[in-house]
Structure formats: C-alpha cells, structure tokens
Chains A and B, each alone.
Chain A
Amino acid sequence: MTGLSVIQPGIFSLPQDSGRFGQHAVGLTTGGPLDSNAFRWANRLCGNAPEATAIEVTIGGLVLESTVQTCIALTGADIPLTINKKPAALWQSHAINPGDRIELGFATAGSRGYLAVAGGFHIDPIFNSASTVPREALGGLTQDGTALQTGQLLPCETVKDSRNCQAVPRHLVPDYGNNSALLRVVLGYQQEAFSNLQKQLFFTSQYVVTESSDRMGYRLKGSKITPSIEGILSEGICLGAIQMPADGQPIVLLNDRQTIGGYPKLGSVLSLDIGKLAQLMPGGTVRFEAISVEQAHNFLALDQHQFLNASLERSPERKVKTSLERKIKSIKP
C-alpha cells in the first residue's frame, strides 16, 4: 500500500470527510470538518471533490513522509508548513515526491488546519463516512474513532498529473489573526422562552471561549442568559444550536454534538460561521448577530456561488526535483 506515513501524529489529527449523514435515527452524530470552508478549499487545491477525506489537524505537530508522487495542500489555521525543511505556503498546492517529508509546526493563529492530498485519503467508510468521531468510537483510519498514531500509513494513490503551485485567491483566504469572531444566528427553537431583555443582553454581550471547548461544543463565558423555562423534553439538535444550561452560559453545539438534548435553545449559529468559532483558541471572544432564516439562505447561496465560480491562481513555482528550484521560496499569501 502507498501513501503518507505518520512519523508524528501531532496533538490531535483526525481524518474527516464532509460528515456522516442520515444516521441520526440510530443516535449517530455527523462529525466532519469543523471549518468546512478551509476543508473544501484544501480539497479543491488538490483537484478533489469537496467532500474527499482530508486530515483535520488541531494545533499542529503532524509529520508525514510520502511514499508516492502526488500533491498536497494545507489550509485553515496559520500552521508553519515545511516540505523537506523548506517553508511552503498554506492555501496552495505543492507537488510531493516519494521520500518527501511534510512537517507541520504549531498554529500561530487559528487552531484547525486541513491537509488534503490528490485523490483524497483512501479510508474505508463506516456508516457511509470516513469521519472520525472519538466520542462515538467510530470512523477514521482504524474505524474506531481514534486519532492518528505514529507508524500508521494514510493510504493515497500516485497522482502523476498532480497540481502544483495553485493557490486560493488572496481575497478569499480568511484571517484567523485576532482570535475573535462575529457569529450570525438564526433565532429558533425555544426563542420565545427568552424575553426581549434576555435577547438584547445576549446580542450585545461579548463572550469568551472557555477551556472546555471541543468538537462537541464550544462553551462560552459571559453575561448570564436566563430563559423562562429550565428544561424541555429532549429533542433533535442541529449544527450550531445555542443551548442554555441552568448556569446561563451558552454552549454552541458543533459537529460531534449529541443528537438530542433537553436544554432550552435560543437558535443556531449560521454554518458559514461555525468554522470561525471553531478556529478560536480558549480566551478568544465572540459576539452574536441575529439574522432571519431568509438571510441565512441568501448567505449560503452566495457563498456556494462564490466558491464554485472562484478560479485558483498560479503562484510562484516551487518544484521539488532539483535543489536549485528548492531554493525558490514560495510566498505566503
């Protein structure tokens, strides 16, 4: 088998495709990339379908060695990338030869990087998805929800006609720099159990991301929000749902959320903003802004239009075959 060997797995690296869908009836969550925008761009750079399996690298530290000729791309958080010890740009595709060493440092802004390879990683699906959900012990390389381990091989094929030196247009590369985000919210669920005063307090307050934030949900700290009801009959929870437990501190539920729950919910964060939230480190700050469901649909349609119609740009050459060419440094977009 060919592929990329895991020399070091890094802090927390999980194979993810676009997610596990249609399995809520047996209690399975969706999983999938927290920053779906960075994920789809990584795949696009490698010429893949947008849902192809890539690696979600939290914070960094992943080191791989290739046994194939292919191309890779790293998007998402600002994680220093080197190929054979030479710095390589993010949001750009890079040709890879057998023996090449791909090293990721640690994030300086944002927290989730996405490493894609041409043709995607070939990982057997379970419940129609390769997505790794540690909480459910499902998916990933060994199908049991475990993160990457030293010595494993991430299977991928030789792609000779691989794309080199293509880059995401600069104006579409997100800035993860200031550890803060504005999150758009569609009001819904038990919103009527939140008085106008409580809603105003919520939408005018700044919340801080706490340490107890993970792929299941981001727990925030700030103004206490008190709905008029304490609990409800457990009901289905969608991506981004904002749940208000008894302590009044909101939890935004993410990809690995429980499928049903009984806390009152104010509404749900727009999916386009989930990635912005999930890129925040503890201590990062968020504010919320209410939008209508019609506005949400418009934002989604515009986003899809922009992605489908954007053209990749040619970036400065960075071939890997000769040492002379290796001296030409790629420029970080």
Chain B
Amino acid sequence: MSSPQQTISVAGENSLIVYFGDKPGAAIASQVAQTAQQLRESLSQVLIDLIPSYASLLVIYNPLQTDHNAVRKSIRQALSHLTDDAISESNKAQGSLVSLPVYYSTESGPDLQALADGAGLTTEQVIAIHQQTEYRVYAIGFAPGFAYLGEVDPRIAAPRLATPRQKVPRGAVAIADRQTAVYPAQSPGGWNLIGLCPQRMFDPNANPTMPVQVGDRVRFEGIDKQTFLDLGGEL
C-alpha cells in the first residue's frame, strides 16, 4: 500500500506525475530516487524518460506501446515496495556521498562579504557553516547539470540578487534562499556567489556526465587557492 500522501496525476498524453508530499526533505528525496530506480527496471521497454524533482517524479512513457492505466499500475507497485522496504529506512542516509572541493574567498566568491555582512557573521563563519551541512540533491534542471542542493543552514540563507549577473563563471558555488548549487557552465544567474569548485559538474565527454544524481548527498570541502589551481581551477 502506498501511503496516502502519494498521488498519481495525469500530466499529458504520455506522462504521469507522482507527488510524494508538499515539502522537500531527505526522506522524500530518497523516496523519489528509489521510485525512479524501480520504474527504470519495471517499465524499461515502454519508458521514455523520468524527471525526478523535489517531491515529485514525472514518468514519461510511450503511449503507442502502453497506456496510462498500465503505467499507473507499475507506479503503484513501485510505491508499495517503497512502503515495505524503504520508508522506515529512508530517513537514514541513502544515495552516494559526494565530496566537492571549494575555494572559498572574496576573490572567488564576489558575494561572500555581502552575504556575511547581511547575516551578521564573518566570512570565515559563513564558509564554516556552508561546509557543516550534508546536502541532498533535490533536483537537476534549469540548465544541463545544474543540481539544486538543500537545505542551507538558515543562518547563511540569502535571497537572490535584485539584479542577476549576466555572467556567472563555471564552477561558481552559490546560495539562493535555503538552496545551494555549483554552476555547471558559465551562464546568467542571480544566486549569491561564495566560492569556486574546480570539479566539472557537467561534462558531455565524461562518464558519468555528472558527479551527482538526484537523491545523492553532497558535502563541500574548503581548499586553498593553490590546491584549487592544482585541481585545474581557473580564476
């Protein structure tokens, strides 16, 4: 039996969307990831793609090979397995733990000082607090390889910039409200920049393309400028 807060709705002619709850969190992120994994196996032939997000999973199927009733059945089965095997487990740590190096500084993070000032903290405190949390990958989207990580400690949460930057560099480590992210490529953006990560977050030629997937856990580890440069970082 799936728990009552999970619902399945039609999204379109070839898509159903599963809602796992109203608020994102580690338990829900884990359920979304597990359901996605289950459906990749059970729907394999008729599955076109899946989009896991904060508290939902979009299931896209081939309507010339199946219909929404059969797909609903597979989804309900996946959700029932979740109840049997996983919900009790889901508050425990699941998903891979990925460590990302960050060169935190006012040189590599042009908003670090302003964020610290706004929070009534020193830049060292902001850097320390950002590293204390084990984040969860809630969603990937907006741009190829852009992973939304949550949740940022409320002491260093900061609203988006009033005027977004035209160019945020690749690797920029940023905070917006209670989310943090590493910009996978140079792009416009309105998040507060506090450092740079030398690791590529999206590389079409690498396998895997991204170091993280939805449901994984992420820790940030401060590195000095020389290590950043040695790891291939560019200022």
Looking at the complex, which of A3-11, A17-25, A40-48, A113-121 is the stretch in contact with chain B? A17-25
The one of A21, A24, A238, A304 that contacts B12, using a Cβ cutoff of 8 Å: A238
Q: Nearest-CB distance from B5 to chain A (Å)?
A: 14
* Interchain CB contact under 8 A, A26 and B53: no
Task: Name the segment of A161-169, A186-194, A213-221 touching the other chain.
Answer: A186-194
The answer to whether A188 touches B9, judged by C-beta atoms less than 8 angstroms apart, is: yes
Taking a contact as CB atoms under 8 Å apart, the answer to whether A22 and B144 are in contact is no
CB contacts (< 8 Å) of A238 on chain B: these are 11-12, 14-15, 58, 60
Asked if B64 is at the interface of the complex by the 8 Å CB criterion, the answer is: yes
Residue B182 interfacial (CB < 8 Å) = no
Tell me if A239 counts as interface (CB < 8 A to partner B): yes
Q: Is the CB of A260 within 8 A of B142?
A: yes
Which residue in B12, B141, B146, B202 is a CB contact (below 8 Å) of A239? B12
Known: A27-B146, A238-B15. A186 touches B58 (CB 8 A): no
Tell me how many residue pairs across A and B have CB atoms closer than 8 Å: 134
Task: Indicate if A241 sits at the interface (CB-CB under 8 A).
Answer: yes
A26 touches B9 (CB 8 A): no
Q: Would you call B214 an interface residue if the criterion is a C-beta within 8 Å of the partner chain's C-beta atoms?
A: yes
CB-CB under 8 A from A137, the residues of chain B are 185
Chain B residue at smallest Cβ distance from A299:
B13
CA of A268 to CA of B214 in the docked complex: distance in angstroms?
Answer: 25
Interface segment out of the listed A229-237, A310-318, A325-333: A229-237
B64 contacts A301, C-beta separation under 8 Å: yes
Chain B CB within 8 A of A300 CB: yes
Q: Are A268 and B144 CB-contacts (below 8 A) given A235-B58, A260-B51, A296-B63? A: no
Chain A, interface SS category: mixed
A25 to B52, CA, bound (A): 7
Contacts of B54 in A (CB 8 A): 233-235
Q: Which residues of B contact A153 (CB under 8 A)?
A: none
The complex places the Cα of A66 from the Cα of B233 at a distance, in Å, of: 45
B13 and A27 within 8 A (CB): no
- A25, B213: Cβ atoms under 8 Å? yes
Contacts A126-B204, A238-B12, A238-B60; A136 near B53 (Cβ below 8 A): no
Give me the interface of B with A, judged by CB distance under 8 Å.
Answer: 9-15, 17, 22, 24, 36, 48-58, 60, 63-64, 67-68, 139-146, 148, 185, 202, 204, 209-210, 213-214
